[in-house]
């Protein structure tokens, strides 16, 4: 071995490698961690777990949305080629309330009140709830046509539009009275048909409350007061009619009695004397004759 200048031999290559033992161990540990992370990342792209009441839509980078959806459980995936989007297919509720703003899913402004005009131009505010769920067999088509924000893109505008259209075909009295159930049923039928075209199933629609304008409410209150006053006057008039009828019956009875007495007198004039004697009383004794009334002779006296 050739010695360097100065006559002292330098460190051998083995000694140099052994001296770097610490840094090599660190680099080896970092490499192992990187490999594990890559493996975990690949595993995350190899399988997908679908929860209860959910469906997963698969998007392929090559062919687009696949015409299927994955049910509950764990499913294999093609790594880096397939992407999944999960949808909740359980019953959900979209609500717009009077004087209340309900939170909505997705980038949408706060929900304003649902103000409708009736056939006669009266303004009413509706409080409705729409209960729905995506069709579990066609979630892939809903994702392809609308996407995850279908509440704001389909349900919200359709529910508002159809509700306004149906209410506009009824008068404010119809909305206030017993035809409200008919209005609710019509909104349910038309909205259900519309949502079905977008692979959304309408389970229930509730027209929970209707608020009328202040002028109409005052008119209703005035009408109720008038009805109560009318019923009170009807009672007064009915009472007076019955009292009058009672007096008429009594007068007719008295008239009939007098007529019968007059007829009896015409048939028997002596009946008047009998009536007179009956009213005089038992204290006075008299004899009723055809000519005159002669007091009886005193007991034991005269000729």
pLDDT in tens, 132-168: 999 999 999 999 999 999 999 999 999 999 999 999 9
Question: Does residue 207 lie within any of the structural domains?
Answer: yes
Provide the CB-side half-sphere exposure for 248 (13 A, CA): 6
Residue 231 has pLDDT above 80, yes or no: no
Q: Are 44 and 71 in contact (CB under 8 A)?
A: no
Question: Does residue 153 lie within any of the structural domains?
Answer: yes
Percent of the chain surpassing pLDDT 70: 62
- Domain co-membership, 106 together with 205: yes
Identify the residue with better confidence: 202 or 4. Answer: 202
Residue 4 has pLDDT above 60, yes or no: no
Question: Does residue 294 lie within any of the structural domains?
Answer: no
Overall number of domains in the chain: 3
Average pLDDT, the chain: 76
| Domain end residue (candidates: 52, 68, 88) | 88
Q: What pLDDT does residue 209 have?
A: 84
Percent of the chain surpassing pLDDT 90: 34
- Domain co-membership, 33 together with 140: no
Mean predicted confidence (pLDDT) in 95-103:
62
| CATH number of domain containing 173 | 3.30.479.30
What's the CA gap between 50 and 71, in Å, rounded? Answer: 7
Q: What pLDDT does residue 50 have?
A: 92
Residue 20 has pLDDT above 50, yes or no: no
Q: In what order do the strands lie in the sheet with 64-70?
A: 64-70, 54-60, 82-88
- Structure-token match 């790594």, residue found: 79
DSSP string, 62-113: TTEEEEEEE-SEEEE--TTTEEEEEEE-S-EEEEEBTTB----SSS-PPPPP
- Domain co-membership, 192 together with 239: no
What's the CA gap between 79 and 290, in Å, rounded? Answer: 141
pLDDT in tens, 265-299: 666 666 656 566 666 555 555 555 555 444 554 44
- Domain co-membership, 136 together with 181: yes
With CA atoms as reference, report the closest residue to 36 among 28, 48, 26: 28
Q: pTM for this structure?
A: 0.59
Which structural domain range is residue 265 located in?
Answer: 221-274
Mean predicted confidence (pLDDT) in 84-95:
94
- Domain co-membership, 207 together with 190: yes
- Domain co-membership, 122 together with 172: yes
Question: Does residue 60 lie within any of the structural domains?
Answer: yes
In Å, how far from its chain's centre is CA 175?
A: 13
- Domain co-membership, 196 together with 124: yes
């Amino acid at each position: 071995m050739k010695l360097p200048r100065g006559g002292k031999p330098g460190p051998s290559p083995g000694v140099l490698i052994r001296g770097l033992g610490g840094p090599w161990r660190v680099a080896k540990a970092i490499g192992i961690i990187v490999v594990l992370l890559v493996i975990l990342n690949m595993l995350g792209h190899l399988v997908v777990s679908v929860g209860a009441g959910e469906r997963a839509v698969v998007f392929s980078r090559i062919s687009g949305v696949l015409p299927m959806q994955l049910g509950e459980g764990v499913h294999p995936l093609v790594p880096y080629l397939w992407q999944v989007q999960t949808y909740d297919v359980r019953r959900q509720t979209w609500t717009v309330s009077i004087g209340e703003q309900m939170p909505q899913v997705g980038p949408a402004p706060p929900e304003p009140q649902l103000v409708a005009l009736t056939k006669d131009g009266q303004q009413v505010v509706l409080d409705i709830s729409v209960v729905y769920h995506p069709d579990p067999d066609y979630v892939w088509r809903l994702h392809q046509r609308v996407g995850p924000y279908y509440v704001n893109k389909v349900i919200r505008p359709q529910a508002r539009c159809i509700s306004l259209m149906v209410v506009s075909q009824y008068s404010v009295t119809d909305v206030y009275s017993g035809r409200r159930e008919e209005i609710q049923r019509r909104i349910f039928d038309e909205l259900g048909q519309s949502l079905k075209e977008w692979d959304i199933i309408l389970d229930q629609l509730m027209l929970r409350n209707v608020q009328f304008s202040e002028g109409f409410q005052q008119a209703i209150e005035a009408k109720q007061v008038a009805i109560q006053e009318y019923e009170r006057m009807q009672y007064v008039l009915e009472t007076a009619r019955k009292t009058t009828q009672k007096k008429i019956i009594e007068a007719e009875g008295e008239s009939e009695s007098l007529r019968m007495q007059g007829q009896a007198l015409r048939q028997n004039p002596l009946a008047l004397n009998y009536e007179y004697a009956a009213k005089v009383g038992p204290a006075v004794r008299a004899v009723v004759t055809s000519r005159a009334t002669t007091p009886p002779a005193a007991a034991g006296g005269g000729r």
